[in-house]
Structure formats: structure tokens, C-alpha cells
Structure 1
Amino acid sequence: MDTLENLRNKTQGAKDLKSVVSAMKALAGSNIIQYETAVSSLEDYYHTIALGIIAYFEAENIKDIKDPNEHQPKSDQTSCAIIFGSDQGLVAQFNDEMASFVSASLKGIPGKKELWIVGERVQLLLSDEGFTATKLYPVPSDLNAVTPLVTEILKQSRESQQKQEIATFYIFHNQPKPNSGYIPVMQRFLPLDSTWKNTLQELHWPTKLHPQIAGDAKMTLSALINGYLFTSLFKACVESLASENASRLDAMQRAEKNISDLLDDLNKKYHRLRQSSIDEELFDVVSGFEALNKDSQ
């Protein structure tokens, strides 16, 4: 049975926990702003890169974009899934939904699979599904840590392609929805697929003047393609971080409401128990007074 002291301790513990939750909610809200700003900036940068590639083909009078290495994964080839999750908990179903989405998606891809995973939590969930991580990366702690991670993944993906160890790369990450929430998405990263080419061909050079290439044409194209690949990975990572913090913010808001409800319940119990204790003390005083009156008579 609860006592006044016990209820006071529970109330203080709930207040301390609410302070921690409020701090985490504020931090998640602050992180979301910087990540959403980065995503918005990346969209402009990607558009510039895409226009640069269009300018190259316009300047070189190339009417069609062909990829002689385009192919679908075969049973004797290896595909790699680059998966973005989280290292920390308190993100609701963020990692669970990603793990389920990856598991279902990889079943439809033939051949051997490699998993390069960013985030220990999602790696543990995928291991329960029977998948083993080939590479495991820590989740960037802030925006400045994203570039080194993306650079390392790009470097290792190029090395694997040059050695012909991996034929196709896919990116899996959670993407923020326009209004609220997020959704797991998958995109083919390498080799550049027909969807990317068709999307690129829909863009048009914004002026009537024909673009010209300054410098070596092949080096220019290589720099533009490298910029596209870097932007694709960077965008996936930042969108995942924005989704993670949005999920954490939502979880913290629910936790804060639950703690507030708990505090209200504890306060009501405390006041009822305190009033009951006061009533008992008054009853004892009255009973003692009546006993003294009987003795004096």
C-alpha cells in the first residue's frame, strides 16, 4: 500500500523524468530544423548538378544517355544494401519499420546480398531477420559528421565495383513526409539506372544560349557524376537523421503526456491519502476528547 513518503518519492521521480524528456524533446526539435534545412539546400545543389550534366550532353551534342552496363541483378551476382538506421533508442518504430521494409525488399532481389548498415539498432533487428551486416558504421552525431561517413561509403563502393565484388548498390532510408511522419524508401544507387536517366532527360537548359564546357570534358563529367553520387548518399543520410529526430520528438511528446497524466494521478492519490490521514488524526482527537469528558463525569 502506498504511503505519503512513497507517493512523494514517486512524484519526484516522475518530475525528474519529465525534465529529461523535455530536454530530449527540445534537442530533437532543434536537430530537425538543421537537418530539414540541409535537405532543402541539397535539393538546390542536386538541381545544379543535374543541370551541369544536362549542359555537358548539350555541349557535346549527345542526344541520348546510354548505360552499356545497365542490367538487372542475376543469381550469380552480389547486390549491396546501404541501410540508414539509428544507434540510439527512444525513436518509436523508426528502426522496426526500416528493418521490415529492408527484409521484404531484399527478398525480391536475386543473387547474394551484402548489408552495409549505418546504425547499431537496425543492425540488431536485421540480424533477428537472418541478415548479417558486412559493414557497420556509426550514425553521425551532427551534420558535420555526415560528410566523412558519406566519403567513406563512396570510397568503399568504388573499390568494390572496381574489383567486381558487387554489381548493384541500393540505398534504404526513412524519408520525411511533407506534413509529418516519415516513410521507408529504396533507390538504386549504382550503376545509374534508367529511372535516373529519364528523370534527368526531363530537365531542360534554362536559357536559349547553348552551354559550353570550360576545360577537359571527361573530367567535367566525372566531377558532375561524383557530385551526384555524393549528393544522393548525403541526402539519404540527412533525411534519415531528420526522420529519426522527428520520430524521437513524437515519442517524447507522447512520453511527456503520459508522465503528466501520471503526475496528476499521483497528486490525486497523495491528496486523498493526506486528507484521509488528517481525518484519522481528527477522529482520534475527537475520540480522545469524548473519552476524557466521560471520565470527568
Structure 2
Amino acid sequence: METLETLSDALRTAKDIQSIVRTMKTLSAVSIHQYEQAEEALGDYAHTIDLGLTALLQQRRALGMAPPELNGGQSGARALIVIGSDRGLCGQYNEVISRRAIEAMSETDPVLGVLGVRAAARLEAAGHTPDKILGVPGSVDGFDATVQSVIITIDQWQETDRVQRVDLLHNCRKAHNTAQPVMRQVLPIPPEYLARRTGATWPARGLPFFRMDHDALMSWLIRERLFVMLYRALAEALASEHATRLAAMQNAARNLEERQDDLNTAFRQKRQETITRELLDLVAGYETAQSER
């Protein structure tokens, strides 16, 4: 049976939780803006990489050189990199990306790398043990180190496991959907992309001049393009994670408000019952004392 003391404690707890929820909502909103800015800031560099590939491919064509031979990924081992989260309270974020990863691995058994221990635990529980688990950076400052770790891991896979194709799977925000899985092929470069770069219009009167070996320059541009794709994917995934967490906290805030209303109603009723009972006890005591006199 609830008493005034238990109801009062429940109200204080609800207020404390409401304060925590309010703080998490604010942090998520700020983080979303931070990661969106990071993705936009990389746009100019990504455009520079595209221009570099355009210049190189068109220069090769002008010199009568054959297009670069890039493995199409139809043979050899494949790798899948999944971006999840290290922290909870983000709704169905990890469940959504884990289900999509399991679907992607239903026909093949790729080398599996996972960013985020929560997504890794779900995949392992489903029978897909990750070959590599990395942490998710807590802020934009950790992006460079994380991306470099992923690139080093991919290099190791290419040497030891003969990996020829690498796919990247992560959540992103689209319309009202806060966590929608997106899969991209990061290696090798798709032939359609190379064809677009070869046929693109150069923005100046003439192509730039360079002395670097064509193959070495192509390798460097591909590596920088990989860096850009991984960096942007991290920004999109973390923005999606915080958007999902923000939505979860908004639902929690509404539930807490309803809970507080119920507790306040119950507290007022219980207090009125207590006051009425005490008044009745006083009246009964007074009447007893009068009858004795």
C-alpha cells in the first residue's frame, strides 16, 4: 500500500530522472549539429579528391594510356565494416543496423569489422563473430585516429585474407527516419564512378600539370577517397545515433510527465485521505471525552 512517504520519494525520483533526460536531450541536439558540421566541412576536400581523379583519368586518356586496372571485387574475399555504437539509450539504433548486417551476410561469409561494442555483441549473439572490433569516437576530435585504424585494418585484411572488396554499412538520417541502414562499396572504386570522372567537364581551361607517377598518384587519391568516405560515414552514423537518442529521450520525457501527473494526483488524494482520517480521529476523540464528562 502506497503511503505519503513512498509517493513523495517517487515524485523526487521522477524529477531527478526528468533532469537527466533534459540534459541528455540537450547533449544529443548539440552533438547532431556538431557531426553535421563535420560532414559539411569535409565537402570541399572530397570535391578536391574528385577533381584530382578527374584530372588524372583525363590525362591518361589524352596520353593514350589504358584505364587503370582496378579489381572489380567479383572474386576473392570480401569484407564488411559495420558502424554501431558504444553507448546505449538510443532506441533501436543497434538492432536496426545489426539486422541489416545479418541480411548482408546471409549469402556470403565476409571478413567482419565492427565499430561499437553494442552492435558487435548483437552480431556475435546471432552467430557472426567479428574479426575486428573498434571503438566509436566520442567526438569529432577522435575521427582521424578512428579512420586511420580502419584503413590499417583494411590493409591487413588485403594482405592476410586477400580481401578485394570492402563494403561499409551504417545508419543515417533520412526524412523522419532517424536510423536507416545504408550500404556503400568503398573498395574497389566502382567502374561507374570512374566513368563519370573520366567524362566530367574540367572547370578550367586546361588540365593541371603533374610529374608524379600515374599509378602512385592514383593509389594516393584512392586512399584519400577512402578516408573521406569513412570520415563521412562516421559523421552520418553518429548524427543518426544522437537523433535516435534524442527521439528516445523525448518519448521518455512525455512518459515522465504522465507519470508525474499520476503521482501528483495520487499524492493529493492520499494527503486528503490522511487529513480526513486525522480530523475524524480528532472529532471521535472529542466526542468520547465529552460523553465521559
Q: TM-score, normalised by structure 1?
A: 0.90
Give the match for residue 12 of structure 1: 12
Name the SS for the 2:121 alignment partner: helix
Instruction: Summarize the Cα distance change of 1:287–1:200 in structure 2 as closer, same or farther, 3 Å threshold.
Output: farther
Give the match for residue 55 of structure 2: 55
Give the match for residue 174 of structure 2: 177
- CA-based RMSD of the aligned residues comes to 2.1
Letter in 2 for 1:11: L
Provide the identity percentage: 31
Does the aligned pair in 1 maintain the 2:70–2:188 contact within 8 Å?
A: no
Letter in 1 for 2:270: L
Asked whether 1:132 is paired with 2:134, we answer: no
Instruction: Summarize the Cα distance change of 1:202–1:120 in structure 2 as closer, same or farther, 3 Å threshold.
Output: farther
Does the aligned pair in 2 maintain the 1:174–1:183 contact within 8 Å?
A: yes
Per-residue deviation at 1:224?
A: 2.2
Instruction: Summarize the Cα distance change of 1:266–1:285 in structure 2 as closer, same or farther, 3 Å threshold.
Output: same
Q: What is the alpha-carbon distance in structure 2 between the residues aligned to residue 187 and residue 60 of structure 1?
A: 27
Query: Unaligned stretches of 5+ in structure 2?
Result: none
Q: What is the alpha-carbon distance in structure 2 between the residues aligned to residue 178 and residue 213 of structure 1?
A: 43
Give the match for residue 71 of structure 2: 69
Q: What is the alpha-carbon distance in structure 1 between the residues aligned to residue 98 and residue 138 of structure 2?
A: 21
Does the aligned pair in 2 maintain the 1:59–1:210 contact within 8 Å?
A: no
Does the aligned pair in 2 maintain the 1:54–1:203 contact within 8 Å?
A: yes
Name the SS for the 1:270 alignment partner: helix
Deviations 1:183-235 (A, max 9, x none): 1011111122224334545643223x022123315244333222111101111
Q: Tell me how many residue pairs correspond in the alignment.
A: 290
Q: What is the alpha-carbon distance in structure 2 between the residues aligned to residue 43 and residue 267 of structure 1?
A: 52
Runs (4+) off by over 4 Å: 62-66
Alignment of 1:27-106 (within 5 A): 27-61=27-61, 65=67, 67-73=69-75, 77-106=76-105
Q: What is the alpha-carbon distance in structure 2 between the residues aligned to residue 181 and residue 201 of structure 1?
A: 36
Does the aligned pair in 2 maintain the 1:173–1:240 contact within 8 Å?
A: yes
Q: What is the alpha-carbon distance in structure 2 between the residues aligned to residue 71 and residue 137 of structure 1?
A: 25
The range that moved more, 252-261 or 170-179, is 170-179
Alignment of 1:69-218 (within 5 A): 69-73=71-75, 77-108=76-107, 110=108, 112-163=109-160, 165-178=162-175, 181-201=178-198, 203-207=200-204, 209-218=205-214
The range that moved more, 260-269 or 35-44, is 35-44
Instruction: Summarize the Cα distance change of 1:68–1:17 in structure 2 as closer, same or farther, 3 Å threshold.
Output: closer
Deviations 1:121-155 (A, max 9, x none): 00111112110110110111111111111112112
Q: What is the alpha-carbon distance in structure 1 between the residues aligned to residue 36 and residue 176 of structure 2?
A: 12
Q: What is the alpha-carbon distance in structure 1 between the residues aligned to residue 67 and residue 26 of structure 2?
A: 47
Does the aligned pair in 1 maintain the 2:90–2:244 contact within 8 Å?
A: yes
Per-residue deviation at 1:66?
A: 5.1
Name the SS for the 2:78 alignment partner: strand
Does the aligned pair in 2 maintain the 1:82–1:115 contact within 8 Å?
A: yes
Per-residue deviation at 1:286?
A: 2.2
The range that moved more, 217-226 or 152-161, is 217-226
Q: What is the alpha-carbon distance in structure 1 between the residues aligned to residue 105 and residue 200 of structure 2?
A: 31
Match of 2:282 among 268, 281, 285: 285
Per-residue deviation at 1:32?
A: 0.7
Instruction: Summarize the Cα distance change of 1:272–1:199 in structure 2 as closer, same or farther, 3 Å threshold.
Output: farther
Q: What is the alpha-carbon distance in structure 2 between the residues aligned to residue 65 and residue 51 of structure 1?
A: 17
Per-residue deviation at 1:164?
A: 5.5
Does the aligned pair in 2 maintain the 1:58–1:210 contact within 8 Å?
A: no
